[in-house]
Amino acid sequence: MGGFLKHVLFIITLILIGALVLHCTYDFIFTHTSARDKLQLALKQKQPYVDYVFLGSSRVENYIDCETIEAITGKSCRNYALSGGSYQDAYVLLKLLKKQGLTYGHLFIQLDTGMKNEQMTTAFKASLIPLIDYYEIKIENVDLSLSWSERYVPFYKYAEYDYLYGIRACFAQLYKNQEDNVKLGYHSKNYVGNTNASTISDLVFSNKFIELTQEEAKKDNAKIHFYTSPYCVDMKNTELFNQFKLYYPGYINYANFYSEPAYFANCTHMNHQGAQIFTRQIVKDFNL
Amino acid sequence: MLFNSLTFLVFLPVVFCIYWFVLHKNLLARNAFILIASYVFYGWWDWRFLGLIAFSTLVDYAIARSIDSSESQNRRKLLLLVSLVINLGLLGFFKYYNFFVDSWVEAFSSLGITMHTSTLNIILPVGISFYTFQTLSYTIDVYRGNLKASSNFIDFAAYVAFFPQLVAGPIERAINLLPQFASLKKFDEQQAISGINLILWGLFQKVVIADSCATYVNSIFDNYESMNSLSLILGAFYFAFQIYGDFAGYSNIAIGTARLLGFDLMRNFNYPYFSRDMAEFWRRWHISLSTWFRDYLYIPLGGSRGTKWMQLRNVLIIFMVSGFWHGANWTFVFWGLLHALFFIPMLLSAKNRNHLDQVAQNRLLPSIKELFQMIFTFGLATIAWVFFRAATIKEAFSYLKSIFTDVNFSVQYLNIERYSIEMLLIIFIFVLYEWFHREFEHPFHGRFKWIKIASVILMLLTLGVYSDHQDFIYFQF
């Protein structure tokens, strides 16, 4: 039994040492390299004054080209939308940006079926986890505490989210530094795709984190704007979005605004060509 | 309970400690404990189906006892028939009922006749195909006189439900495993060490190879219509390694776990992708199932005796039944048929027993001829895997057709935000590991044993898939 126990103990020791070394290495890489995504940008850099700030999901990230807005208006613009992000993610990001000094004139919130989700997305939590302790992140109304395993078991927090923050993300952090790409925040989809439509249903009209974001904008004396980004023409029940007008003053429904399939990468996302046209429409309708 | 779960990480050491340190003097208590642990292991997934295992155990225990004590050949035959009907009846109902109803309706509708029938919402009990075959082999062996019926119900129940191999094999023969429950084991250090090493290697095969490949496979197969030739080839290639890593990984963990408790299970995989022909492949892939079909179906049908037509018939039957065993879908039957077609030419030319040794035995590298033979055999197996993975036979043909009609070999960026070729390096490393240790069960041998263990641990930590861990594919069979 002695030899067996020694063998097992040796394997456990190797696992622990490996986990500890990797834990420290990953921690170092994520905290000591320059920003690769919008969250890291919000934590690692001082933020300037921005005239137009856009928050939301990929239905903002793929739709609003800030370079175009800056070229037309001569004012500064940042698209801080996160692909797959929720309204809680957007709120946390805004708070972090503000901590780094961000001030802004106008805040744009895109409203859609994601309203029913008041949770933080797994992807956003995964991207926060390596940074929470290092940057001592604390935000009112948001639970950012690490679990016991995440805090004390070496490498657990990376294994838990390996798909998002595993070894590929580490290498990307080191070798594919995307700071320049995330500065203005627009990510385009450069293809015309299949616009298989579905039906809008289960729409809700309030979200705790939209309310909190509204309060933030009010505190910051910024003007807040609401709209819904376009869907492909086959999307059904888009008129339901009109009810947002009852709750959000100045709201504009673009859900069924474009009928041209060539503008869409899929039914819920515009491609680059569509985004350029839509961005100009936003500039015009909101008098930017 | 999954082998690659935290629950099992707690369960196994607890079972190990109670088994060796608390119950070290009492055989009955040990076997009863294994039985309880096995039922906990299975019940963790769904306790409702424990009754099914208990029923199957009771039936085969009682029938085998009756067969053993009966003098009349007719009565023995009748009892065997009862066992077959009950066991295959349960398997047929839970696994194939809906399939037969659907196929029946489809067949009639193709003749223009509309049938009004409904399928049932049947949940497939995990591992039913495995433990059914295990209990069947026991009753058949008792009937044949190869084995005395067990007089100890606890031993027999523990044999049927033995948790390391309960849900996905290896399909153990009573003749090998049951006697192991009859003696009080002493701890064998070397056996336990080899068990731990096998578990480690099995985890690597599952968590690093199979689960990583699964991400790419799902992305490519689910969107095969928009994939180019290179991606489609890679999708099939990755699936070949996914299913191998998944099932061989499970088998190795099962065998390793059994060894920790002092039991020896049969080897289930012997580096099948280093086979030089399809016959050799089937001597190395899912060995416990292949030999089961050989002993309980192929040989009773006449095996390789009789006329060529008889031999052909037997090969076709065994491969198609083997395919059908995997699942209630025509894709599996077609997969079996394809393998039969690959095998038959060798049988007809009497070349099916050409390669009984290990490839490149006592040599570092294979000859050019061996290399081509291995690539060709792997290619055939991979083509067949497309039918195994696809949802329908039509989809599989469409997938294969696109490989040849698209003729675009550029690297594609998949919807999982990864390039299609990214897995190749990991698979290459895995193949090298396997090649240089093909004489052994696992790579942890020799002077650099600890370096190899450390590197596998490092790869487990860095390349393993934990956030989205997948069930073992063979659970569904």
Is B326 designated active site? yes
Comparing A274 with B128, the larger pLDDT belongs to A274
Using a CB-CB cut-off of 8 Å, the residues of chain B touching A166 are 462
Query: Which entry of B286, B326, B339, B355 is annotated as an active-site residue?
Result: B326
Q: Tell me the two tokens of residue B57.
A: 């155990």
Element spanning B12, H or E: helix B6-17
Here the tokens at position B366 are 């294979």
Under 8 Å between Cβ of A88 and A120: yes
Distance CA(A193)–CA(B443), nearest Å, equals: 47
Q: Please indicate if any CB of chain B lies within 8 Å of the CB of A3.
A: yes
CA distance between the termini of chain A: 77
Question: Is pLDDT at A181 greater than 60 in this prediction?
Answer: no
Answer whether the bond into residue B170 is a cis peptide, omega within 30°.
yes
- Render pLDDT for B228-278 as a digit per residue (tens, 0 to 9): 999 999 999 999 999 999 999 999 999 999 999 999 999 999 999 999 999
List the 4-23 stretch of A: residues with Cβ below 8 A of B.
4, 7-8, 10-11, 14-15, 18-19, 22
d(CA B257, CA A220): 62
The answer to whether the beta carbons of residues B348 and B287 sit under 8 Å apart is no
Contact B450/A10, CB-based, under 8 Å?
yes
Residue B128 token pair: 């039913």
Per-residue pLDDT tens for B342-399? 999 998 888 888 888 888 888 989 999 999 999 999 999 999 999 999 999 999 999 9
Is the pLDDT assigned to residue B290 strictly greater than 80? yes
A159 → closest Cβ in B20, B453, B466: B466
Cβ of B467 and A10 within 8 Å? no
Q: Residue B418 and residue A168: Cβ atoms within 8 Å?
A: yes
Q: What does the block give as tokens for A119?
A: 């949770």
Nearest Cα residue in chain B from A26: B462
Residue B234, Cβ neighbours under 10 Å: how many?
24
Query: Span B85-111, mean pLDDT?
Result: 79
Q: Do A4 and B466 touch (CB under 8 A)?
A: no
pLDDT band (50, 70, 90) for residue B66: very high
Query: Token pair of B18, please?
Result: 């109670």
Which of A23, A58, A63 is closest to A38 using CA atoms? A58
Do residue A1 and residue B187 have CB atoms under 8 angstroms apart? yes
SS3 B80: helix
From the list A3, A14, A163, the residue facing B454 with the nearest CB is A14
Q: Is the preceding peptide bond at B366 cis, omega within 30 degrees of 0?
A: no
Q: Of residues B350 and B140, which shows the higher confidence score?
A: B140
Interface contact flag, B187 A159, Cβ < 8 Å = no
Mutation target to probe the A interface, by most A beta carbons within 10 A, among B222, B423, B466, B469 is B466
- Checking if the pLDDT of B98 tops 80, the result is no
Which A-chain residues 129-158 have CB contacts (< 8 A) with chain B? 155
Q: Which domains does chain A possess?
A: 38-285 (3.40.50)
Give the distance from residue B417's alpha carbon to the nearest chain A alpha carbon, in angstroms. Answer: 11
Share of chain B above pLDDT 70, in %: 96
pLDDT digits (tens, 9 = 90+) for A223-274: 999 999 999 888 888 889 999 999 999 999 999 888 888 888 888 899 999 9
Amino acid at B138: Y
- Examine the pLDDT at B472 and tell me if it is beyond 70: no
Is B12 in CB contact (< 8 Å) with chain A? Answer: no
Give the chain B residue whose CA is nearest to the CA of A7. Answer: B193
Contacts of B189 in chain A (CB under 8 A): 1-4
Dihedral of alpha carbons B301, B304, B308, B311, sign? positive
Interchain CB distance below 8 Å, B461 and A15:
yes
B464/A contact by beta carbon, under 8 A: yes
Residue that wins the pLDDT comparison between A287 and A282: A282
Query: How many A/B residue pairs have CB atoms within 8 Å?
Result: 53
Q: Which residues in chain A are contacts of B466 at CB distance < 8 A?
A: 159-160, 162
Q: Quick check: B196 and A11 CB within 8 A?
A: yes
pLDDT over 60 (residue B150): yes
